[in-house]
A and B are shown apart, each in its own frame.
Chain A
Amino acid sequence: MSYYDFLFVIEVLVGGLLSGVMYSLVAIGFVLIYKTSGVLNFAQGSMVLFAALTFVSLVERGIPFALSLLITFAVMVALGFTIERTVLRPLVNRSPMTLFMATLGLSYIIEGAAQLIWGTQVHGLDLGIDDTPFEVGGILISSFDLLAAAIAAAMVAGLSAFFYWTRIGLAFRAVADDQFAALAVGLRLPRIWGTVWTAAGFVALVAGLLWGARLGVRFSLSLIVLKALPVLVLGGFDSILGAIVGGLIIGASEKLAEVYLGPFVGGGIEGWFAYALALVVLLVRPSGLFGQKTVERV
């Protein structure tokens, strides 16, 4: 392999890792909710779309950037809170499968609502980030991707700090550990669920802005949920670290596969490659790379 080939591999790899961060960004929203309430929230993708659409529509109506951000945040918090109250709380104690299908239905409702409120046209979203690639040691890196990764990293750090050092964060971890024990020591589960849905709304906002800026704000944006699912399966539904590492692995291997495997099978493999990869890993480790391995109690 020549030096330039080598550089090219590195370039592909770095590009893949950076887009992997974007996958993790969506996956983390799932993990937050799954860890505390055992719900695989399929509506996370629609929440991302809803956030991006709300923000871009506000900006287009001449509302300043910061204010739009604030309003969108408020809307997302309200949305998360409402979902928790109206859909999930009445369904508490139902099987995880029932809850999942409820969120699946929810995703269509949110999309329908977004369509009704904001219409169906595609919006461009300019976050004012310069997207000229720059060169480091002979490889090209997209500055947008780099910044997006930095924002994602900052958000993960912020969330971790929140969950490690605040009282409510402590409660969150207690609930994630053992719901019944948490209930027994008097933690108020509904308040924690409320907080978690709020946090998930916030994550959706960040993901919505970054993905929206990258792809344009359009309805297919909600399909990034399909990118997040294999990441979750790989990392385990209940591990934030897993979501991050899973995202990186999928991002990198997907790009490498596209470049080196794609040409042999006619390309277009990015739709299923991540799933195949996740599946192979799962068959070896049925609860993902970082999911807890437990012996079922009988």
Chain B
Amino acid sequence: MIGASLGAAAYERASEISAILAVANPVGDRRLARLSSRPDVVLALSGIGISFGGVKALSDVDLEVEVGEIRAVIGPNGAGKSSLINIISGLYHADRGRIAIGGQSFSRVPASRLARLGVARTFQNLALFGGLSVRNNIACGRVHTRRASFVEHIAGLPRARSEDAGIAEKTDQIVAFLHLESVADRLVATLPYGLQKRVELARALVAEPKLLLLDEPMAGMTATEKAEMAGFVRAARDRHGVTIILIEHDIGVVMGLSDRVAVLDYGRKIADGTPAEVRADPAVIRAYIGTAEGENGEDI
């Protein structure tokens, strides 16, 4: 017992030191520079760490995401998956490490410029605009392309009108793509949960992002809804070529959908590889044994 805790303490210490080194050490930065200049790497994280109070939500996480892949991030509850996505989208600021998005490197991603950087996301807990219709929620996803001022809108000047028309057209396309026609004019707050999740995906897709971050898009859905959603995610990649980071607990969905899988546990990346490699990885198996979700077989 004592030995184990001493060992853990030593490990902590060592990782702290290496984290400090990672900050001071230009090697990490150079690696990032090399990666971010590679055209096939959409996103590169290096040495990401963040803590809340005493909780280390993430420590020293590296991740590279290549163009056109569906990259799953899995891990038990509290492993730091959402934190990772929040750091990429600029909602959390990492204590350590750098993030490179499409060749631009940041220590803090500016959330307000995220859409223009070509990144869109959905949220683990629904984050729709309850007071707007489905169509208007989706149309908001293209707000970053608007230039017309409020005066032009009130007066109905040509630029405002042509922007509206262009966005309406794109919205219609996404509505059709995700089969939302029958509810398009309903207030989004009145929809069932599964459909709201789909509207959120639509709002992200309409921005035509290069990189799409999905935080548990299928959580709380029935099996049929999940299958349908998985179909949409795959179709989004296949038809629009968007690169996807997918957080998901349902291991069946993950294995079927993703090209590569990264596994987080207690804020560390413990495995990264193809679904088959990850599934066979002893560290992953160990991490999942004993967690509540490990018990019901299908979900991890």
Contacts and interface: CB of A to CB of B under 8 A. Distances in A.
A/B: CB atoms within 8 Å of each other: yes
B52 A298 contact: no
A149 B140 CA distance: 55
Contacts of A295: 52, 92
A46 B127 CA distance: 38
A291 B284 CA distance: 40
Nearest to B124: A298
A56 B52 CA distance: 52
Contacts of B127: 298
A296 B92 CA distance: 9
B82 interface: yes
B20 to A, nearest CB: 23
A251 B68 CA distance: 62
Contacts of B86: 298
B91 interface: yes
Contacts of B52: 295
A295 B123 CA distance: 16
Contacts of A298: 82, 86, 91, 123-125, 127
B3 to A, nearest CB: 34
Interface in B104-126: 123-125
Interface in A276-298: 295-296, 298
Contacts, number: 10
Interface in B82-100: 82, 86, 91-92
Nearest to A296: B91
Nearest to B127: A298
B101 to A, nearest CB: 18
Interface in A136-186: none
Interface residues of A, number: 3
A298 B52 CA distance: 14
B278 to A, nearest CB: 26
Interface in B50-109: 52, 82, 86, 91-92
B142 to A, nearest CB: 22
Contacts of B82: 298
B55 to A, nearest CB: 11
Contacts of B91: 296, 298
Contacts of A296: 91
Nearest to B89: A298
Nearest to B125: A298
A143 to B, nearest CB: 46
Interface in A243-298: 295-296, 298
A298 B82 CA distance: 8
A184 to B, nearest CB: 16
A295 B53 CA distance: 10
Contacts of B92: 295
Nearest to B52: A295
A45 to B, nearest CB: 33
Contacts of B125: 298
Interface string A95-135: 00000000000000000000000000000000000000000
Interface string B25-55: 0000000000000000000000000001000
A298 to B, nearest CB: 5
A298 B200 CA distance: 14
B34 to A, nearest CB: 31
A146 B161 CA distance: 69
A90 B63 CA distance: 49
A295 B91 CA distance: 9
A200 B125 CA distance: 35
Contacts of B124: 298
B219 to A, nearest CB: 14
A16 to B, nearest CB: 36
Interface string B234-246: 0000000000000
A208 B127 CA distance: 45
Nearest to B82: A298
A293 to B, nearest CB: 10
A296 B82 CA distance: 13
A95 to B, nearest CB: 12
A3 B127 CA distance: 63
A295 B51 CA distance: 11
A297 to B, nearest CB: 8
B127 to A, nearest CB: 7
A296 B52 CA distance: 11
A296 B90 CA distance: 12
A298 B123 CA distance: 7
A180 to B, nearest CB: 14
A298 B124 CA distance: 7
Given A295-B92, A298-B82, 8 more contacts: A295-B52, A296-B91, A298-B86, A298-B91, A298-B123, A298-B124, A298-B125, A298-B127
The 5 closest A-B pairs by CB, nearest first: A298-B91, A298-B86, A298-B123, A295-B92, A295-B52
10 contacts: A295-B52, A295-B92, A296-B91, A298-B82, A298-B86, A298-B91, A298-B123, A298-B124, A298-B125, A298-B127
